[in-house]
Amino acid sequence: MMFWYDHNASGWGWFAMSAGMILFWALIITVAVLLFRSLNSPHEHTHTTPAAPTPEDILRERLARGEIDEEEYRRILSTLHAGPLTKT
């Protein structure tokens, strides 16, 4: 029964074992805290797609680019605000 009592562990062996155990538990606790924080934090990086431009926006852009004149702009805008055409 060799090494029954001390397992040939010197002072440095005990120190390394103790430091390793402390580092191991520190790693486990750090991972647990980071996981807990990430699961409970609100998601800040929500990517929303921009809304599609309305017909009025498109009409304003065409007027700004000079594709239509102000008279045509007002005519088309009044048609848009009049509502859908109905068949009789």
Give this prediction's pTM: 0.40
Pull the structure tokens for residue 82: 């009049």
pLDDT reading at 1 higher than 50: no
Dump pLDDT digits (tens) for 32-73: 999 999 888 777 666 677 788 999 999 999 999 999 999 999
Dump pLDDT digits (tens) for 39-49: 887 776 666 77
pLDDT reading at 88 higher than 50: yes
Pull the structure tokens for residue 36: 């807990």
Pick from 30, 36, 79, 33: nearest CA to 59: 79
Total count of residues recorded for the chain: 88
